[in-house]
Chain A
Amino acid sequence: MNPRRATRAGWNTVAVVLFVLMVFPVFWMISTAFKPDDQIVSADPSWFSLHPTIAHFRAAIDTPFFWTDVKNSLIIVCTTVVISIGLAFLAAIALAKYRFSGRKLFIVLMIGIQMLPQAGLIIPLYVVLARYHQVNALTGVILTYMTFALPFSVWTLRGFIINIPRELEEAAMVDGSTRLGAFVKILLPLAAPGLVATSVFAFITSWNEYIFARVLLNDQGKQTLTVWLSYFLGSSRHTDWGALMAGSTLTAIPVLVFFLLVQRKIAFGLTAGAVKA
C-alpha cells in the first residue's frame, strides 16, 4: 500500500510540474489581462501585478457587439458540433462495422479532404456561398465549418469504434434489436470517450476559426468572437494589449466550460471497459 501511494505521489508531482510548464503562457496571458498598462510594457517582467485591475475586462466587454458576437459564436459552434458529431458518428459506424462497396473510397476521401490547404479554398467557397445568399449569414458559416468538421470527425470516430469488440454487438443483437439499433445502444456508451474528444476538438476548432468567419461575415452584428478579437490587433495604431489579453481570456472561458461539462465521460470507459467472455 505504502510504496504504491509513494509512486502515486511521485506521479502527481510530475503532473503538477508539467501543468506549470504547459500553462505558463496561458497564465501569462491571464496575468497580463489584470495588469495596469504601465506594468505590461515594463522592462522587468513581473509575474503578476500587486495592483490588479479589471479595467481591461470592462473595456473588452463594453466594446460594441461583444455580447452579440458571443451569441453568434455560440449558435454557430453548438449547431456545427451537434450536427457534425451526430452525422459523423452514424457515418463512422457504417465505415467501421458494415461492408459495402465504395467504403474504402469514402474513407480515403475523408482523410484526403483534410489534406487540402484551406487557404486555397477561401475564394471559391466564397463564390459558391455568395450564389446561394449565404454570405453575411450565420448559416453560411455553419455549413462551412461543418464541411471541415465532418471529415475529421468521421475519420477519428471510426478509429475509436474499430476498437470495440464484436462480441458486444452480437450479444445485443440476440435481443432482437436491429443491427443499427444494437450498434447505437452498445457503441454509444463505449465510444463516449472518443465522442467527447472529437466533439471537444470540433468545438475548439470552430470556436477559434478566424479566416472564414472574417471573410464571410460583414455586419458587426453577425460576427463571431474571433473576429471581434481581431479588431484589437487590426488597427494601424497602438494595440491595447491589456484589452486583447482580457478579450482572449474571455473567449477561452466557454471552451473550458464545455470541456468541464463533458470531461467525466472520458473516464466513464475506464470502469465500463470490461469484456465479458
Chain B
Amino acid sequence: MSQAEGTAVAAGAPGLRRRRFSRGRFLRGSVPYGLIVPVAAAIGAILGYPLYSLVRLSLQHYGLFELISHRGQWVGLDNFRSVLGDAVFWHTLLRTVVFTAVNVSATIVLGTLVALLLVRVSAWARLLLTGGLVLVWATPVVVAVQIWYWMTNFQNGVVNYVLTKLRVGDFFQHDWYATTFSQLGLVTTLVVWGALPFVAISVYASLAQVPRELVEAAEIDGARPWRVFLDVIFPILRPILLILTSLSIIWDFGVFTQPFLLIGQSHIHPGNYLMGVYLFEEGYVKTDFGRGAAISLLMLLMVSAMSVVYVRKMVRMGDVE
C-alpha cells in the first residue's frame, strides 16, 4: 500500500504532494473504524438501554407492583446477596456446569467426526447427509421437543416399542421422566441432536479451506490418518473449533426451552433446575425482575469464567503483524 501510494505521490504535482499524503494516511487509519461503526451503532442503539436497565434492575426490588407503577426500590446488593446465599443457586450451578461440559464435548467431538465423514463420501451421500442435517437444524425447537416427548412417552412411545422389540429389555410403559438423571439425559440427547448440524457444517466449511496438496503430501509420506489429522488438519480447524466451543458453552449453559418444555412445568423442581430454567422460574414466573436481573448478570459472570480460556485464545489468534 505504502509503496503504491509513495510512487503516486512522487509522480504528483509538487503543490498537491503534502496534502494528498496526509489525507491518504487519515483515510487509511480510519478504514477499520469505518468498518466497525455500523455494527457498533446498530447494537448500541438497541441494546444500550436494555443493558443499562439490566444493571439498574439488579440493584432494585422490582416486582409486579413496581413494574406497574414504574418505580423500584433501591436495595443495593440485596438481590445478589439473596441469590448467592441460596443453596439452590449453587446446586443448580454445579449441575449446569456438568451438563454443559457433557453437552459441549459431545457436540464438538461428534460434529467434527461428522464433518470428517462428509469429506470422505461421494457427492450424493454428502448432499443427502447435509440435507438431513439442515432439516434437523431447521426444525423449530418447540416442535422438536414435542416429537421427543412423543417418542419417549409412557403410553405409546416409539422408543419403548423399539427397545422392547429389539429385546434390549422390557421397556413396556417405561417412564423416562421418573428420575432426574433420566430427564437430563433426554434433554442432553435433544440438545446435542439439535446442535450437531451447525457444528458439522461449520467444521466442514472450515475443512474446505484445508489445502488438498498438504493432506495428500502427508498421506504419500505414509503418515497414519490420526497424525494427518493432528498435524495438518487440526491447526487449520483450530479457530473454528475455538469459536464453536466458546459458542456452545454459552448456549448450553443458558439453555432454557428444551429442559423446560421436555421435563415439563409440572416436573420442574429445584432438584432438576438448570441455570436457564432457574432464571426463568426465580425471575419471571415469580415476577421478581430485580432478582432476575441479578441472576442474569451472575450467569454472564459464570459463563465468561467457563469460556475465558477459549475466548482468550480466539482473541489472540490472528494477531496481525
Q: Chain A: residues with CB nearer than 8 A to chain B?
A: 7-8, 11-12, 14-16, 18-19, 22-23, 25-26, 28-29, 41-45, 87-88, 90-91, 93-100, 103-104, 106-108, 111-117, 119-121, 123-125, 127-129, 143-144, 146-147, 150-152, 154-156, 158-164, 173, 176, 178-180, 190, 193-194, 196-197, 200-201, 204, 207-208, 210, 226, 229-230, 233, 244-245, 248, 251-252, 255-256, 259-260, 263, 266-270, 273-275
Q: Mark B233-252, 1 if CB is under 8 A from A, else 0.
A: 00010011011001100100
- Chain B interface, DSSP helix/strand/loop, else mixed: helix
Q: Besides the contacts A42-B156, A248-B140, what 11 more A-B pairs have beta carbons closer than 8 Å?
A: A16-B125, A26-B136, A100-B32, A120-B296, A123-B289, A146-B46, A204-B137, A210-B142, A229-B143, A255-B137, A273-B212
- A275: which B residues are within 8 A, CB to CB? 211
Nearest A residue to B119 via CB reads A270
Interface segment, one of B85-93, B175-183, B193-201: B193-201
Q: How far is the CA of A251 from the CA of B161 in the complex (A)?
A: 29
- A29: which B residues are within 8 A, CB to CB? 139, 143, 147
- A267: which B residues are within 8 A, CB to CB? 208
A114 touching B236, Cβ below 8 Å? no
Q: How many residues of B contact A (CB 8 A)?
A: 106
A120 touching B243, Cβ below 8 Å? no
Nearest A residue to B304 via CB reads A115
Nearest A residue to B42 via CB reads A146
Q: Which single member of A111, A147, A273 contacts B209 (CB below 8 Å)?
A: A273
Interface segment, one of B14-22, B99-107, B264-272, B309-317: B309-317
From residue B152, how far is it (CB to closest CB) to chain A in Å?
11
Q: Chain B: residues with CB nearer than 8 A to chain A?
A: 1, 4, 28-29, 31-33, 35-36, 38-40, 42-43, 45-47, 49-51, 53-54, 57, 67, 114, 117-118, 120-122, 125-144, 146-148, 150-151, 155-158, 161, 193, 196, 198, 201-202, 204-206, 208-213, 236, 239-240, 242-243, 246-247, 250, 254, 256, 276, 279-280, 283-284, 289, 292-293, 295-296, 299-300, 303-304, 307, 311, 314-315, 317-318, 320-321
Q: How far is the CA of A13 from the CA of B315 in the complex (A)?
A: 40
A95-B46 contact given A108-B315, A197-B201, A260-B131, CB 8 Å threshold: no
A196 touching B205, Cβ below 8 Å? yes
- A155: which B residues are within 8 A, CB to CB? 243, 247, 314
B4 touching A176, Cβ below 8 Å? yes
Q: Which single member of A15, A208, A229 contacts B128 (CB below 8 Å)?
A: A15
From residue B120, how far is it (CB to closest CB) to chain A in Å?
5
29 A-B pairs (CB sep. < 8 Å): A12-B125, A14-B117, A22-B132, A22-B133, A23-B135, A26-B147, A87-B39, A88-B39, A91-B39, A99-B321, A111-B250, A115-B299, A115-B303, A117-B300, A119-B256, A119-B279, A119-B283, A120-B295, A121-B47, A121-B54, A123-B289, A155-B247, A162-B239, A163-B240, A245-B143, A259-B130, A269-B208, A273-B208, A274-B211
Minimum-distance CB pairs A-B, first 5: A162-B318, A120-B296, A193-B205, A124-B50, A255-B138
B280 touching A158, Cβ below 8 Å? no
From residue A30, how far is it (CB to closest CB) to chain B in Å?
9
Q: Which single member of B36, B120, B140 contacts A229 (CB below 8 Å)?
A: B140
- A204: which B residues are within 8 A, CB to CB? 137-138
A208 touching B141, Cβ below 8 Å? yes
B198 touching A273, Cβ below 8 Å? no
From residue A139, how far is it (CB to closest CB) to chain B in Å?
11
Q: How far is the CA of A36 from the CA of B264 in the complex (A)?
A: 27
- Chain A interface, DSSP helix/strand/loop, else mixed: helix
Most buried by B among A18, A152, A229: A18
- A260: which B residues are within 8 A, CB to CB? 131
